[in-house]
Amino acid sequence: MTHRWHTGGMPKIEKTDAEWRAELSPEEYRILRQKGTEAPFTGEYDHTFEPGTYHCAGCGAEIFASEAKYDSGCGWPAFSAPSGEEAIEEESDSSFGMVRTEVMCSNCGGHLGHVFPDGPQPTGLRYCINSAALKLEEK
């Protein structure tokens, strides 16, 4: 494993494809490393609202707090904001004939989901995230 530094002074995790395949389940690998999407309404955390912290399933970095989670009805876990501005990276995604904003873990670069401008106030954002990209650490 090698590290690349990113904003905030934290090392960025870099692993080979073989290392990721060995550490992740096939579904986690498909979503986090191959930018896959789980079927709507099938993810473990779609209707989970226990207090806690959601971490990246790939590297364990804190991504979202349960206080930011809400039921958007979109079929995937939805959050109004990440746990901190350093938690995620965003990138334009024009796959599948549409333009969206991809959300990735800033620590390992794993694909988490997408963010849309139709969320609740005060952010107005809906972070639509794959359950397989997350691990909930309950309080």
- 8 Å CB contact between 63 and 117: no
Could you confirm whether 105 is annotated as catalytic?
no
The C-alpha atoms of residue 29 and residue 67 are separated, in whole angstroms, by 27
56, 59, 105, 128: the active-site residue = 128
- Tell me the C-alpha distance between 97 and 80, whole Å: 25
Q: Mind giving me the DSSP string for 31-82?
A: HHTT---PPTT-STTTT---SEEEEETTT--EEEEGGGEE--SSSS-EESS-
User: Within 10 A of 18 (CB to CB), how many other CB atoms are there?
Assistant: 8
Residues involved in catalysis: 128
